[in-house]
Amino acid sequence: MRKSALATAALIAGIAMLLTCPTAIAGDKDDDWKSLKNESKRLKIDEMADAALDEVMNTNWKAQELFESAHGWAAFDNLKIAFGISGGGGNGVAIQKESGERTYMKMGTGGIGFGLGGQKYQVIFLFQDEKTYHNFVVKGWKADASAQAAAGKDGANATTGFVNGIAVWQITGKGLMASVDISGTKYWKNKKLN
């Protein structure tokens, strides 16, 4: 009984910290983002997406190869906070290669597990065909265990192809990650920016 009461108290404390810390960690950047007009927000998302794609293309030959045959791609800038439970969110854009049409999107994630602190990272998706791209953009998408498999067992040096029509890379402050775990993350269209 005592252990469950302690676990419950820890969970409640973790939730309280999680709800207050993203603002503290984001700090002025969060206030700056809220004060921007939609056109400026789109411009910032576009700059992040182009830089993230460049980093993946410049450091991963397999990504270059898959990009050539991809129908479209997407990039998201994420902030994930963990204090016993984890949560995060971010913005991104999906781009249809041939037309250059951009769809601005949001993402969110949450879970329970061990962890303490915050992590900022970008995720790059490549979409093999029009149907996969369309479903991601129009219907939204929730990552499951296959999303991790899409990165390949070797991650940054992956020699795998698309898994269920998608290939994924994650970039952190340490560079291209060796594995990607985005399971439990949901992606959807940003109504305010489209």
pLDDT in the model for residue 126: 95
21 pLDDT above the threshold of 90: no
Which whole number is the average pLDDT over 141-160?
55
Higher pLDDT, 33 or 39: 39
What backbone phi and psi angles, to 5 degrees, belong to 26?
Answer: -70, -35
Q: Which two tokens stand for residue 125?
A: 């998706």
Which whole number is the average pLDDT over 139-158?
59
> What is the spatial distance between Cα 120 and Cα 21, in angstroms, rounded to a whole number?
14
**91-100, 144-153, 180-189, range with the lowest pLDDT:** 144-153
pLDDT in the model for residue 35: 81
Claim: this prediction has a pTM higher than 0.85: no
- The pLDDT tens digits for 38-63 are 999 999 999 999 999 999 999 888 89
pLDDT in the model for residue 170: 86
Q: For the residues of 52-107, what is the DSSP string, one character each?
A: HHHHHHHH-HHHHHHHHH-SEEEEEEEEEEEEEEEEEEEEEEEEETTT--EEEEEE
Q: Which two tokens stand for residue 148?
A: 């991790």
Find, among 115, 99, 88, the residue nearest to 25 by Cα.
88
- The pLDDT tens digits for 166-181 are 998 888 877 665 455 6
